[in-house]
Structures are given as C-alpha cells and as structure tokens.
Amino acid sequence: MDVLGSRIVIVAFDGWNDAGEGASGAVEALRAATDYDLVHSVDPELYFDYQYTRPSTRMDAEGHRQLKWPEAALWRPRESGDGTTPEFWLLTGVEPARTWQAFASEFIDIALRDDITGVVTLGAMLSDVPHTRPISIFASSPNEQVRETHGLERSLYEGPVGILSVIEHFAESAGIPTASLWASVPHYVATATPSPKVTLALLDRLEELTGVDVTRDHLRTEAAAWEASIDAAAADDEDMAEYIRQLERTRDTWDSPEASGDAIAQAFERYLRRRDDGPGDRKR
C-alpha cells in the first residue's frame, strides 16, 4: 500500500488559498462524482468572523427566509471502495478567521478516530504565468517517505502561513503523512472565476499522486472555453497581448531542458513572500 494509504482526506478552503476557485472547484468536482455523507461540521461561532465572512440569506421551497452560516466540514464517501485504490474523504468550507490550532486539532482528532491514512491539501495562487500554457503545479511534502515515493519537492519557504499549512503540520505531528498541491493561476485573469483549467490541472496531478481516477471530462470543455474567452479579450487589448507574450517567453524558458528544476518552487516562495507586503493580506 502506498505511503498515503487507503483513506485520504483531500483538503481545500474558499478564500486566500483558492485563487480562481481552482482548489475549491477540484473538491466540488470530487464531491459531484460520488455520494458523500457528512462526518463532522464545526460550530461557526468558534472559528468565523461574521464581519469578514458574513452569513447569507435565502428562501426555502415554502418561501420562508433561511440563514446560511459559514461552515467547514468533513465528508466521507457513502460507499466504501473495493480496496484496490484509495478512497477520498473531503475537508472543505470557508477558511477560518481565528483559533486555527483548535480548528486543526478538531479535525485531526476525527481523522485519527476514523483511521485516516493520508492528507492532501489543494491550493491555488495568483502568479506571473500565461493562461496559454499548462497550469504549473507545485507538489511538495514535509514527509521524507512521501517525497521519496512520489518524487515531490521539499518546500524551503519560511514565513507567514495559513490554514492549509496548519492542518498539514498537525496531521504530520499526529503521524498522518501529507502532501500539498498548489496551482499557479494567471494573475491577470483573477476576475475570470471560476478557472476550470486550474481545477483540471489540480485533479490531473491528484490522480498522478494517488492513482484514483476522477471524472472530469466536462472540465476539459470548460477549460478550453475559459482559455478561448481570455484569448478573445487579449485580442482587443494590445498591451495585454504583449504582456502575455512576455509571460509565454518566460514560461518557455523555464520549460526548456536547460532550465533549473527549482523554478516553480522558487516562484511559489516568491509568491508567498509577496503576499506578506500589506496589512490587509490574508496569510497562508
């Protein structure tokens, strides 16, 4: 059995960790592919700042107004697998605003109770990359055995972190091996959300990592349409078109045989440091 085991929690949160809704979109695709049951949902009063992440209102089928509160929850597949491939559990929701240690501990305690064998966190970051090239995925792990088994990087980043790193740390401390997949999202299309090409790239890499086949044919069509829409916008803006050509030249240099294998890792670390340059930034 692979070091990540037979029962893997896939983690993604809305918010700072989710440029272009790429990571949350990946979890939504997983959830749509099979039936899931709720295992645990946190008390929103403990972890969310409602002035930052406000509750929403909606009408039910009978016309009564309902309040929907921010949530974070763990889900398990309704039917267990046949044991030949891992099964995915899903931890998703809104990134908490406070008491991150308690938040992470709450879910790790449940993971230990339910014999979770591995954790894979998914994130998406804005970066200086072109939309016309394959989406770069930075795959890393703090676990030496996971790195050796799957050929992953070891992140050397030092600085402020967010909830994905906290959950990863608590999982490793509890003896649950982890891996992390981060997609680079073209920063100039930040408003063109969701970004199905990003979601597709994360799911492709997740399948490579775990061997679990994920239904995603619809994303291929959506990704092509997304890319075409940005091409059309750039065709009407010469400055944007020239900027994209510059990014393409840089990316092609990275992808050349002479390029350093550390290029994506270095870009990832530059991104994290750049996000720490203002008082209003959210931390990973």
What Rg, from alpha-carbon coordinates, does the chain have? 19
Q: What share of the chain is helix, strand, coil (3-state, %, to 5)?
A: 40, 20, 35
pLDDT value at 269 more than 70? no
DSSP line for 157-219: --S---HHHHHHHHHHHTT--EEEEEEEEEGGGTTS-S-HHHHHHHHHHHHHHH------HHH
CA nearest to 196, candidates 34, 29, 14: 29
- Give the CA count within 13 Å in the CB-facing half-sphere of 139: 21
Helix (H) or strand (E) holding 70: none
Residue 44: cis peptide before it, omega within 30 degrees of 0: no
Number of domains the chain is built from: 1
Considering only 5-14, 36-45, 180-189, 267-276, which range has the smallest mean pLDDT?
267-276
The CATH number of the domain where 56 resides is what? 3.40.50.10900
Q: What is the pTM of this model?
A: 0.86
Query: Is 284 inside any structural domain?
Result: no
List, for residues 135-176, the tens digit of each pLDDT value.
Answer: 999 999 999 999 999 999 999 888 888 899 999 999 999 999
pLDDT at 16: 83
pLDDT value at 256 more than 90? no
Q: What is the percent of the chain where pLDDT is above 90? A: 62
CA nearest to 162, candidates 98, 209, 215, 106: 98
Query: Is 267 inside any structural domain?
Result: yes
Q: CA distances (Å), 90 to each of 29, 58, 64, 234, 269, in order?
A: 11, 25, 31, 37, 27
Structure tokens at 135: 């989406």
List, for residues 4-24, the tens digit of each pLDDT value.
Answer: 999 999 999 998 889 999 999
Say how far apart CA 134 and CA 268 lie, in whole Å.
16
Query: Is 227 inside any structural domain?
Result: yes
Do residues 4 and 111 lie in contact, with contact meaning Cβ atoms separated by under 8 Å?
no
Query: Is 25 inside any structural domain?
Result: yes
Do residues 172 and 166 lie in contact, with contact meaning Cβ atoms separated by under 8 Å?
no
Query: Is 184 inside any structural domain?
Result: yes
Residue carrying structure tokens 């990003």: 198
**Mean pLDDT value across residues 242-262:** 73
Query: Is 56 inside any structural domain?
Result: yes
Do residues 122 and 221 lie in contact, with contact meaning Cβ atoms separated by under 8 Å?
no
pLDDT value at 241 more than 50? yes
Q: What is the DSSP letter of 6?
A: S
Query: Is 102 inside any structural domain?
Result: yes
Distance from chain centroid for Cα 60: 31
Q: What is the percent of the chain where pLDDT is above 70? A: 87
Q: What is the DSSP letter of 56?
A: E
DSSP line for 93-129: EEPPSS-HHHHHHHHHHHHHHTT--EEEEEEEEEES-
Residue 43 sits in which domain range? 7-274
pLDDT at 243: 87
Name 186's bridge partners. 127
Query: Is 17 inside any structural domain?
Result: yes
**Confidence band (pLDDT; 50, 70, 90) for 207?**
very high
pLDDT value at 282 more than 50? no
